[in-house]
Structure 1
Amino acid sequence: MERTLYIEPFSGVAGDMFLSALCALTEAYPLIESLPEKLGLPDGKIEFQELNKNGIVCTHIKIVDTGANHHSHSHQDHAHHHGNHRHLSDIVSLIENGRISENAKRIAKEIFTIIGESESRIHGIPIETIHFHEVSGVDSILDIVGCAVLIDQLEITRSYCDPICVGSGSVQTQHGLLPVPAPATADILRGMPTFKGDETGERCTPTGAAILKFLAPRFESCPLPATRIAYGPGQKTFRAANVLRLSLCESDAAEPGNDRIWVIETNIDDMSPEELGCDFQDALLAAGAVDVVLTPAQMKKGRPAVSLSALAPEPVRERVIDFILENTSSIGLRYYSARRRVLQRRKIEIDTELGTLLAKETIRPSGRKTVKAEYESLKALAQKHSLSLAETRRLLDERSS
């Protein structure tokens, strides 16, 4: 069963919103409550608050820095004393020593590295010497590690996301007053579709952006039905509901005969038929397409054209798209997901007086079986006996009746 996460950050996204939504999706509240102890962070306290955001009642996970043991002189507490001045190595060490799964540790370290690399680019300082300010406190550490633990638990295979609301105006940081989105946030979000929204204020934080970047979502509508939906509220109040919506979507591809397929289409009006002939189609099938159809079409101004349509499974979709764009004159195409029902079938060998014939046996919904000879096998028998295809097929039909 494939598990997909659909992210809707229409009111922005922050680490606490992600943590709250993921926790609601997994119902893992006791696990998150025990996280400070698992990470050796006695100064972190987890509080659960029920918030009403424009009629959406959801649980917000608030992390409070109690200041416990800040003045202790042990090595571990010395790191706490530095609070908002931890280096990446301090945070990595804290994660490595935590009592969480190895995969959760990997995810958490990758998210922090995304932020560290961004800070390094912005400030022109090697990542090893960067002081984490906004994201090195107890709250940000628990937000990110908590999200890592829950992402690991969900076993997400892919994710989709809507464009991200980043807000506008300015925000006060350790470095002073900065524009929204903050430089680190803008850097992390490079390549992702964003919009400012109609209200001022910071709507996407570096932590939220880094979690999004780790998930590497496709920015398109999720083609799968949602099986579970959860909301993660932000503490700020805007006119629009300040919530992050996450949907867990599961594929029914495991059901026999049912799967999803990608339909890839383009119209071509400036290539000769020979260029789209057998060699091109064989190569397209070799690239992973499971079917290719060429349909005559008439484009604007009466130009004759060919409509090319290919079917491709999810794992090879991009490879098939790249092949079409590399090997045709098309400068753009469209693709969309479709449901497909495939009848149960198998290849069989039939002993005939002319020789062994390869065929495909298909089971119809009623249970009735139908058999169709494979073209290449039929052609080989015809050539072997110096017969036409039509004559070979007729002889086989007569002798099987």
Structure 2
Amino acid sequence: MNMDVSTIARRVRDQAVALPELFGRFDFDRAPERWAAEAADVTELGRVRGVDRADYLGDDDLVARIREYTMLGDRSGDAYAALMPKLGFQRTVAMLIEACDKGIDAVAEAPPELAALIAEMEVVPDWLDMKLVEAGAAYERNATANLAPFLIRGAFIATFLNKYSALPMALTGTLGHATAARRVKETATFFATTALPHALERFGPGFKAAAMVRLMHSMVRVNVLSRPGMWDVETYGMPIPQLDQMPAGLIPIYFLSQEVLAKGRTSFNREEQGRVELARYRCYLLGLPEDLLADTPQEIVRIWRTRSATLRYEYDDRICGGLLRATMEAELSKNESPKGRLTRRLERSASRVFFVKAFLNGDEERAASVGVPVGKRDHLIYGATMLGVAGRMAAYRAASRLPGVRRLADRDLIRRIERQLAGYGHAEFRSDASQYRPATA
């Protein structure tokens, strides 16, 4: 159910009342430069072929809601992260972990801000069907174990194509190879963890991972707004607004929705509903506003494209190109075995080709210009890799339909995901303010 625009507006402006030291200088009535609602503006939707932007700008209610959400951070997460100067970084993180693992009552001297964050995440939305979430996770385990390791880097760098959404990553030191590798592995860890059985239940590892991601984003918000000259509010608005959770959290079901609509269908089947419910609840725990979590293919596409139609687009090589190049050159694995070296070679080529196909409409000239060149060898490797992955996934799908081997196949997928997680290493989900570098408009 859609929230009234006036209610959203009050929530946005109340941020300055709750945390005046962070948000007191924000003029929430003035749209930042990133907001682009005029017909002549160049926006992210312009990169999508065959779509008329006017179709989405004409929805006055949705455009108004997205305008407000453009300036909404994470009220609960920000309030807790703002305690860092008092509590210290280590204690702030440790208390959140303990609250996730044991419950808020187990945390000695738990501040009310932490209690509020946990309580907010513990609220079960009316629309949630955990059986569907578990069905969606079971389906996703096949792709998570077999396909995601080859594509995660390519999907991750897609968020770096626009300076208006990429700047926070550049500020936090992700232009360095080590930090870029850590961020990719943290992203992979979050999505792999949430695909495990019962991961998103209250004391599951996915619930804790979502809380840690929220804290990390809030730490970035608090750090960049607390340091003079670090953030240009008039240009970029809110650092990492909740609205910017959409690309990472909902891109699988956005692509799914497009496929469903292209086939002439207007609703999801049971299997697809599970995938959608998993993505929606994952994003809910991350703090994405509920009225942006649509459950029909038409609404998912409409909300996604309206956000894209109002997000100004500009490619800045210093910001975007630096992030792209650092991430593509980063080593995601230290496995020096023959198999490990081969996997790294396959992953690097597969991610590049996937990125160009999915996010640059196959434009290899543009890919080369932004620092992601793709050659014939990359295409050959991508084709061979995807052929092998498709065969393996088909085998697991066939096994999932056979009562006698369904559980065995699922256990094997779970073991493979757990090995992946071990290979990624411990995900810290932290943001080191000492590595921040100012970036001006």
TM-score, length-scaled by structure 1 = 0.21
Higher gyration radius (CA): 1
Q: Which has the higher contact order (CA 8 A, sep 6+)?
A: 2
The structure whose residues are more often strand, as a share, is: 1
TM-score, length-scaled by structure 2 = 0.20
